[in-house]
Amino acid sequence: MSTIPKSLKHLDVSFNRISGSLPNIDIDLTGLFVQGNYLTDLGRLPESLQNANFSLNPLTNTGELCSRKLVTCELKKTKLNATTCGTCLFS
């Protein structure tokens, strides 16, 4: 993700067949939307993140996501067994 401009605030790579672990993100994103891919792990997310959608991914690990104070967060239709994760919605 080193080729992403540092000034970018919202990143939407939904339905792009991205698989495996999400690379560590080291820019000040406030919105991250990656639904409909094949992600299994979220990696390191930016502290600045406020809105996120990780739905429709076979996620098995939320990493540090649950400890974040996000405004909106969706984890619908993942392989996570949790029912709570901070502000994240599962259904």
Per-residue pLDDT tens digits for 63-73: 788 888 899 99
Give me the half-sphere count of Cα atoms (radius 13 Å) on the Cβ side of residue 40. Answer: 2
In sign, the C-alpha dihedral spanning 73, 29, 69, 78 is positive
Domain that holds residue 34: 1-90
Average pLDDT over residues 13-20: 96
pLDDT band, very low/low/confident/very high, at 2 (cuts 50, 70, 90): low
Domain count for the chain, please give it.
1
**Model confidence over 35-65: pLDDT tens digits?**
999 999 988 899 999 999 999 999 988 878 8
